[in-house]
Amino acid sequence: MVYVMQGASNEKKEKQSIEGQLLGAITRAQSQFVQSRDARVVFDGMLDALLTLTDSEYGFIGEVFYEEDGTPFLKTHAITNIAWNEETQRLYDENAEQGLEFRNMDTLFGNVIVTGEVVIANKPAEDRRRGGVPRGHPPLNAFLGLPFFHRDKLIGMVGIANRAAGYDQLLVDSLQPFLTTCTNIILGVRAQKSQAAVQKSLSESEARGRAILDNAIDAIITIDQTGRIESCNRAAGQIFGYGTNELVSMNVSSLMPREHGDQHDKYLQSFLRSGRGKIIGVGRELTACRRDGEEFPIELTVNEIKLEGRQLFVGMLRDISDRKANEAQRSQLTEELTKRVDELNRLNEENALLSALGSYLQACVSKEEAYDVLLAHVRVLFANESGALYSLSEAANAECVLSWGAEKDLLSHPVQKQDCWAMRRGVVHETSDASAALRCRHYNGIGAGDQFCIPVMTQNGPIGLLTLHVPASDEGEKPALQVAHNLSLMSGIADRLGPALSGIELRDRLHEDSIRDPLTKLYNRRFMDESLHRELLRAGRSNSPVSLIMVDLDKFKAINDEYGHDVGDEVLTVVAQHLGRAIREEDIVYRFGGEEFVIVLPGASLDVARERAQEACRAIRALRIETDKGPLHITLSAGVATFPEHGANQEQLIVQADRALYLAKQSGRDRIELATVAEVS
C-alpha cells in the first residue's frame, strides 16, 4: 500500500511539473499572440516548448477543415522539419509557412480527426489504427494524438512522437491547458481571417465607444449585470470628481450614499431575476455621492441594452444641484424656469429625433435610404441652418451626397482633404468669426457664422464628413452653450450614422460573398437560380428570347491528376476570365459547379448564342497556360438552349442545355451542340 501511494505521489508531481512548465509556455504564447498576431510564430514556439517538455522528437499542431462533401483534412500551423529526402525538403520549404495539408485519414493522426478521441500508440507498428509511414520516414516509435474542441466541435489536433518513456493518460491530462490555448489561438486566427467576425472583446469595446458621447454635457455610464462600471465619458469623471480610468471597474453603488448603494444591488439582482423594473427607460431623481463624500441630486435615466448576448445597462445622468437649490426661489425665477422647461422640451424633442434617426438608420438596407432618412431628420433638427454630408473616397477626398438649407448649393461641391481641418486632423473642427484664420477653405463664399466639420467614423476609420453652417444672427455672439449644443447634436448624428453606414457596407459585402464563387470571382449557382428566374419572367412579359450556354472543360479531371489541383484552379480562373471577355456586356457568366460554367444571354436568339459559344470556344482553344510540365492547352464543350423554344422555365432550359452539352461530349468534345425542340418534355 505504501508503494502504491508513493507511485501516485510521483505521478502527481510529474503532472504538476509538466503543468507548471506548460503554464510558462502558454503565457508566453498568449502574450506573443496578443502583441504580434502572427499565429505561425506563436505555434512554432508552442510546438518547440511542447516537444521539450514531453521529451518528444517531432510533432505538429494543426487545424481541421472540411471539404465541400464534409470530408475532413488537416492543415498544419506548426510542424517539425523531418524531411528525409530532397523532395520532402522542398515540400516543407514551399508549404511550411502557409501550412501543409494532410488528407489521408487512414493513419494514427487521421483516427484522432475521424473519432475526435485521444490516440495513444506506444507500439505504432502493432497498432491496428496505423496507416504506415512513407519510405525513408524517420522511425515512429511512439505517438500521441490530442484533439481539441470549441463548443464540442473538433477544430484541430496536436501530434507528438517518440517519447522515450511512451505516452500515457497522465500526460494527456497534463496537456489540457495547452490544448485550450491552441483552441483560443485558432479561434483568434479565424477571427482575423473573417472580416465580418471581430473578437468579442474588441467588438464590445467599440460598441460601447460608439454609445458613449464623449462630448455630451450629461454623464453616461455603462454597467454590467454585477453593477461594475465598464465605460463612462469625461462628464462622469467631472461630475463625481474621479478620473475616467478610475471610474472603470468600480461598482456603481460606490457613487451612491451607502443606504442607496445597498438597495441598488438588491434592485439589480431582482430585475435580473424577474425582468421587471421601475426605472428602466424612465427618468427619475436620485441622490449621488462625489469622491469627497458630498451628496448631491441627479436626474437619471437608465436603459437596458443587449450586446452580443450580454445584458448591459446605460445610465444618462445630470447633476441637478443648481436646479434643486433654486427651487426655494421658485416664485422669483418663474420666467427663468419657464425658459428652462422650454429648453428641456426642445432637448427632449431633439433626443427623440436622434433616437428615431438611429432606429431608422439601423433599418435601412442601402446607403441611399440612409441618406434620405438623414436628410428628413436634419431638416427638422437644423431647420434654420445649412449643412451637408460628404462621402470619403479612397483618395481621402469627399464627394457631397446630400445637402440642405439656404447654402446647400454652395456646400454641395466636392471637398479636398487639404481644404478641411477635420479631414486632415481626423477630429471635430469648429470655427466662428472670431477665429476666421482657422476657417476651412471649403466654406469660402459662405456668409459669416459658426462652422462645424465632424468626421463620420467607424471602427475602420473615417468614411464621411458632416458639415454645419450656423448663420450669424442680429442678436450678437452666440452663447458658448449653444455652440456646444450644436456640436453635440451633430456629433450625436455622426455617431449614429457611422455604424449604420458601416453595417450597410458589411451586409453588402457579405451578400456579395454569398453570391460569388471564391476561386473564379464569378457569380455562383445560387445567384444564377435567382437571377435567371427573374430574367425569364422579364423575357416572358416582353416576348423576347433568353439563351443559355452550358460549358464544360474537356478532360479536366486528367488536368488535375497530371498537373495537380493548383494548376487546375489556375485553369478554372483563367477560363472564367476569358469567358467574361468573349461575351456581350449584358451577358453573365456563372460558375455552375466543378468545371462547369453557364452563360446567360438575355435577348439573344439561338443563332446569336451559338456564335457566342463558338467565340468562347475559340478563345479558350487559343489559350496557352505554362506549367512545370510544359504548355497546357484547353478545350471546351458546350450545349446551347433558348427560351422559350427549349423550355418554359429555368429547370427545363438547364436540362435541355445539359443534354446538348452531354451530346457534345459524346460526339468527341471541343464542340458545340444545340438543344432541339423535339427534346422538350
- The mean pLDDT value for 462-482 works out to 76
DSSP strands (E only) in 80-214: 101-102, 119-121, 143-150, 153-161
Q: Are 673 and 590 members of one domain?
A: yes
pLDDT of residue 436: 66
pLDDT of residue 2: 35
Q: Are 237 and 289 members of one domain?
A: yes
DSSP state of 418: G
Tell me whether residue 7 is in a domain.
Answer: no
Q: Is 603 helix (H, G, I), strand (E, B) or coil?
A: coil
Say whether pLDDT at 197 is over 80: no
Tell me whether residue 4 is in a domain.
Answer: no
d(CA 320, CA 421): 36
Q: Bigger pLDDT: 492 or 479? A: 492
For 416, the grid coordinates are: 479636398
For 317, the grid coordinates are: 445622468
Q: Are 185 and 38 members of one domain?
A: yes
How many CB atoms are closer than 10 A to CB 343? 12
Instruction: Output the domain CATH number for residue 145.
Output: 3.30.450.40
Say whether pLDDT at 384 is over 50: yes
CA 281 to chain CA centroid, Å, is: 31
Q: Are 359 and 415 members of one domain?
A: yes
Tell me whether residue 165 is in a domain.
Answer: yes
Which of 164, 193, 222 is the last residue before a domain boundary? 193
Question: Environment class of residue 127 by beta-carbon count within 10 Å: exposed (0-12), middle (13-18) or buried (19+)?
Answer: middle
Element (H, E) at 90: helix 86-95
Of 223, 145, 138, 147, the closest CA to residue 180 belongs to 147
Let me know the angle formed at the C-alpha of 389 by 383 and 392, rounded to the nearest 5 degrees.
Answer: 170
Cell numbers 454585477 label which residue? 226
d(CA 331, CA 337): 10
d(CA 64, CA 117): 14
Tell me whether residue 337 is in a domain.
Answer: no
d(CA 625, CA 633): 7
Q: Is 322 helix (H, G, I), strand (E, B) or coil?
A: helix
Contact between 499 and 458 under an 8 Å Cβ cutoff? The reply is yes
Give me the long-range contacts of 208-215 (CB less than 8 A, separation at least 24): 208/307, 210/495, 210/498, 210/499, 211/305, 211/314, 213/488, 213/491, 213/492, 213/495, 215/428, 215/484, 215/487, 215/488, 215/491
d(CA 353, CA 314): 19
- What are the tens digits of pLDDT across the range 357-366? 888 888 888 8
Alpha-carbon distances, residue 308 vs 200, 222, 229, 266 (angstroms): 8, 15, 18, 25
d(CA 240, CA 158): 52
Q: Are 556 and 655 members of one domain?
A: yes
Q: Are 476 and 532 members of one domain?
A: no
- What are the tens digits of pLDDT across the range 646-660? 998 989 999 999 999
Q: Are 185 and 211 members of one domain?
A: no
Of 29, 78, 21, 79, the closest CA to residue 52 belongs to 21
Q: Are 354 and 247 members of one domain?
A: no
Q: Are 582 and 654 members of one domain?
A: yes
pLDDT of residue 278: 61
Element (H, E) at 283: strand 283-289
Tell me whether residue 131 is in a domain.
Answer: yes
d(CA 534, CA 541): 11
- The mean pLDDT value for 237-253 works out to 87
Please, which pLDDT band fits residue 111 given cuts at 50, 70 and 90? very high
Please, which pLDDT band fits residue 34 given cuts at 50, 70 and 90? low
Please, which pLDDT band fits residue 143 given cuts at 50, 70 and 90? very high
Tell me whether residue 465 is in a domain.
Answer: yes
Q: Are 104 and 72 members of one domain?
A: yes
Task: State the residue range of the domain holding 553.
Answer: 523-679
Instruction: Output the domain CATH number for residue 235.
Output: 3.30.450.20
Q: Bigger pLDDT: 297 or 424? A: 297
Let me know the angle formed at the C-alpha of 60 by 55 and 64, rounded to the nearest 5 degrees.
Answer: 145
DSSP strands (E only) in 354-460: 386-392, 398-404, 429-431, 449-458
Say whether pLDDT at 22 is over 90: no
Contact between 619 and 589 under an 8 Å Cβ cutoff? The reply is no
For 615, the grid coordinates are: 467565340
Instruction: Output the domain CATH number for residue 595.
Output: 3.30.70.270
pLDDT of residue 447: 77
> CB neighbours of 193 closer than 8 A, spacing ≥ 6?
none
Which of 319, 336, 358 is the last residue before a domain boundary? 319
Say whether pLDDT at 260 is over 80: no
- With residues binned 3-state (H G I as helix, E B as strand, rest as coil), the percentages for the chain, rounded to 5, are 50, 25, 25
Q: Are 454 and 358 members of one domain?
A: yes
Could you give the number of structural domains in the chain?
4
Let me know the angle formed at the C-alpha of 50 by 48 and 53, rounded to the nearest 5 degrees.
Answer: 110
Phi, psi at 511, each rounded to 5°: -65, -40
pLDDT of residue 433: 64
Q: Which residues of 409-418 are buried (b: 16+ CB within 10 A; e: fewer)?
A: ebbeeebeee
- What are the tens digits of pLDDT across the range 332-383? 767 777 777 777 787 788 788 888 888 888 888 888 888 898 889 989 888 8
> Which residues are paired to 389 by β-bridges?
402, 466
Contact between 608 and 639 under an 8 Å Cβ cutoff? The reply is no
Which of 177, 193, 209 is the last residue before a domain boundary? 193
Q: What is the DSSP string of 620-654?
A: HHT--EEETTEEE---EEEEEEEETTT-SSHHHHH
CA 337 to chain CA centroid, Å, is: 49
pTM: 0.38
d(CA 132, CA 141): 12
Tell me whether residue 311 is in a domain.
Answer: yes
Tell me whether residue 102 is in a domain.
Answer: yes
Q: Are 308 and 375 members of one domain?
A: no
- Give the distance between the most distant pair of CA atoms in the chain: 103
For 621, the grid coordinates are: 482553344
- For residue 257, cis peptide bond before it (omega within 30 degrees of 0): no
pLDDT of residue 366: 85
